[in-house]
Amino acid sequence: MTGAELRALRLSLGLTQAEFGAQIGVGYQTIGRWEQSDVLNRIAALAVGAVQPRVHKREKPRTGPRIRRK
């Protein structure tokens, strides 16, 4: 993953650098530094990989009809 790909992911989630950093346990300065990199180091890639499953799980649309109870 490149810094540009990381930035695109963060923006697609609608998060600031500070919000994204809080999700993976780093500061906004670190996110900014990673986004300026050509290639993320292994620690950065692992941290980003750890947050992606949680984010994608939240974005799944509902399936099936809604049942209203009175």
Considering the segment(s) 3-54 as one domain, its CATH architecture is Orthogonal Bundle (1.10)
Torsion of the alpha carbons at 17, 21, 27 and 32, rounded to the nearest 10 = -40
Q: List the domain boundaries for the chain.
A: 3-54
Q: Note the pLDDT tens digit of each residue in 18-63.
A: 999 998 889 999 999 999 988 777 777 777 777 765 554 444 444 5
pTM above threshold 0.85: no
Inter-residue contact 19 to 50 (CB < 8 Å): no
At 54 the pLDDT is 56
Inter-residue contact 23 to 15 (CB < 8 Å): yes
Inter-residue contact 24 to 50 (CB < 8 Å): yes
Q: What is the DSSP letter of 68?
A: -
